[in-house]
Amino acid sequence: MSERRGHWDHVYATKRENEVSWFQENPAISMELILATGATRASSIVDIGGGASRLVDSLLQAGFRAITVLDLSEAALAAARARLGGRAAEVEWITSDVTRWKPSRQHDVWHDRAALHFLTDADDRAAYVACLKSALRVGGQAIIGTFAPDGPEKCSGLLVQRYDATGLQQTLGEDFRLAEQRREIHTTPWGSAQSFQFARLLRTR
């Protein structure tokens, strides 16, 4: 865990927000999928690996009031808090590795764009799924975005595990049902195209 944390702290300490490949000015697909869950402003939403992402900005602007952002990099979360200014106090910030996190409560929506695909070890993936089940209520929904099968094999110098929608459902297991899938061609700040796969999955039991 310490190696992962050190890697990402270094990334966020040495690069500006728009100098990382995953930067999005407008996280449109994530917002569309969150709204598709039927979430209300009172729904509890946790953004896994949220880092300095602007999804939290969009959620606040849309009126959501129970937002948690988790990332293993304190430097990334500090960048997000600085950007939000006074509104940062409206968000719960958690510095933790998702494979080690012990949630204190359950949420209605679990969102993860580009965290799961860094877990190339089977034990880490199993720990991720166990955490997801602990953090998401039955009837809640998980939104997960990863590199697609035709996406990059590496990101930020690290190998990734690529998925299609079926692979995401199989990874989460039989307690989850695939409700929606989306493909996205993400354009990096320097103009490269990256294929992403998104899946919205309902926890059935």
Query: Pick from 197, 45, 202: which is nearest to 111 by CA?
Result: 45
pLDDT of res. 83: 97
Global pTM? 0.94
Kindly list the averaged pLDDT for each block of 10 residues, start to end, along the chain of length 205: 73 79 91 98 98 97 98 95 98 97 98 97 98 98 98 96 98 98 96 97 98
pLDDT of res. 1: 52
DSSP 188: P
pLDDT of res. 84: 98
- Distance of alpha carbon 89 from alpha carbon 187, whole angstroms: 31
pLDDT of res. 8: 75
DSSP 42: T
- Distance of alpha carbon 7 from alpha carbon 1, whole angstroms: 10
Taking only Cα atoms into account, the Rg of the chain, rounded to an integer number of angstroms, comes to 16
Which architecture characterizes domain 2-16+26-203 according to CATH?
Answer: 3-Layer(aba) Sandwich (3.40)
pLDDT of res. 104: 96
- φ, ψ of residue 115 to 5 degrees: the values are -105, -50
